[in-house]
Amino acid sequence: MTQTLQPRSHTSDAVVIGGGPVGSYTALCLAKLGVNVTVFEEHPKIGVPSHCAGHLSIRSLRTMGLYPLPNGIVENTFRTANFYSPAGTKFSISLSHPVTTVLNRARFDQYLARQAEAAGAHLLLNSRVQSLMISEGYVKGLDIQAIGKKEEKIFSRITLDAEGISSRLLKQAGLTALKTPGLVYAVEAEVENLQDIEQDAVEVYLGKSYAPGFYGWLIPRLDGTAKLGLATNRGNPREFLRELMSKHPVASKQLRKAKITQIGYHAISLGGPIDRTYANGFLAVGDCASQVKPTTGGGVIFGLTCAKIAAETANKAIKQVYFFSDALQIYQKRCSDLLNFDFMVMLRLRRFLNSLSDTKVDEMLRVCSKLGVGKALRNEDEIDFQGKMLAKSLAKPSIIAAFAYFALLYLSANP
């Protein structure tokens, strides 16, 4: 992987801002299509610092040709999810086989970057994109600030923005930024010395007392360590984590001897995709376009899914030498056709969950157990396209009953 700055006298057909998973995958797809593409990443090393739990669906990774992964990236696989109310009521969904995996995100990002380079993409580290070059209403390239160098201008026919949640450059292209009411603030810690943990289960702690606006999670690795985190739409997430570790009836027992070895903070955008993801000579993809699941905050699979469409759109524009937004809008249309139903359902689910008091969360988990919702979902391995998954599950009587109950719960919470 390129670690030092190379001379940049060349002009790329396409430039990608950011060497996160979405930026690298965009570059990989472009390079495979024969496009001359350069990725600019501000950090000296891909994937570092990492801000993500790396909990992904095996099925989606497989569909994208990214599973199985090389040794050292997969840290564990899971077939069970345990959900807890703030009072400690437990509801489990346990499948017959592993459906999710937790990845070492830094190594996963580095793997994607290496794949992109192997396919012919150029990757420049230590290279911060300061601003977009805009001329006559078109994005024509980038101003780069490399460490220890003067600012440089890089010309490009098309720019693909994968800068992540900061979305600073997005605004310069005239696109609206992420929706602030949809943002939650996360803390994620590396922990060791866990007690009473099922190794093939992820733990999810629901309820306003411990994680208002989101939830807490514990994702164990096979080596006895785990990723522990939560996100909130108010207050200080670190304080909420302290409360979870010391007072939650289940988490406090699992974590009574736990030691935090590392801690980090980052925002997650749950508001659904931004209104417009394209401009003249410009496409936004991944977290910066808020292509993130509003229920779980997972952005990797949807980001990679949209990255492929962005690459195909950019390739077509390059071939036709036509970069006006009316040609690029097909990118947004294809992403919407694929994901809008799921986003619509997940946004409603998020609103529903946020509306519940802790007592109602407790009641909801009890009802789910009683109705056998876990059993009804036993063979369901779709966790990304949740709208389609839910629509399919509505053929099952226990899911219909649970759905009717949730509707009543929502109406009673929002009269």
Positions that interact with ligand FAD (CB under 6 A): 17-23, 40-43, 51-56, 128-129, 162-164, 166, 186, 188, 229, 266, 268, 286-287, 292, 297-301, 303
Q: Which of 213, 67, 248, 302 is nearest to 228 (CA)?
A: 248
From the CB of 415, what's the least distance to ligand FAD, in Å? 34
Q: What does the block give as tokens for 65?
A: 């040709």
User: Quick one: 286 or 374, whose CB is closer to ligand FAD?
Assistant: 286
Report the nearest approach of ligand FAD to the CB of residue 351 (Å): 20
Residue with tokens 């790396």: 54
Q: Is the Cβ of residue 20 or residue 272 nearer to ligand FAD in the bound state? A: 20
Q: Which tokens hold the place of 165?
A: 């949640």
Cis bond leading into 415, ω under 30°? no
Q: How many CA atoms lie within 13 A of 74 on its CB side?
A: 17
> Which phi-psi region, left, alpha or beta, contains residue 220 (left: φ > 0; alpha: ψ -120 to 50)?
beta
CB of 269 to ligand FAD, least distance (A): 8
* Beta bridge partners of residue 185, listed in sequence order: 232, 267
Q: Which is nearer to ligand FAD, 23 or 271 (CB)?
A: 23
Cβ proximity to ligand FAD: between 54 and 207 the closer is: 54
Compute the least distance from the CB of residue 283 to ligand FAD, in Å: 13
| Rounded least distance, CB 162 to ligand FAD, Å | 5
Compute the C-alpha angle 289/49/311, nearest 5°: 35
Q: For residue 378, how many other CB atoms are within 10 A of its CB?
A: 13
Residue 221, token pair as written in the block: 């690795």
Tell me, rounded to whole angstroms, the distance of Cα 50 from its chain centroid: 13
Q: Which is nearer to ligand FAD, 289 or 353 (CB)?
A: 289
Minimum distance between the CB of residue 273 and ligand FAD, rounded to whole angstroms? Answer: 12
**Minimum separation from the CB atom of position 165 to ligand FAD (A):** 6
Identity of the residue, 39 or 376, whose beta carbon is nearer to ligand FAD in the bound complex: 39
Terminal C-alpha separation, the chain: 57
d(CA 135, CA 151): 18
Burial class (CB in 10 A: 0-12, 13-18, 19+), 326: exposed
- Minimum CB distance to ligand FAD smaller for 98 or for 372: 98
Q: Measured between alpha carbons, how far is 314 from 30 in angstroms, rounded to an integer? A: 8
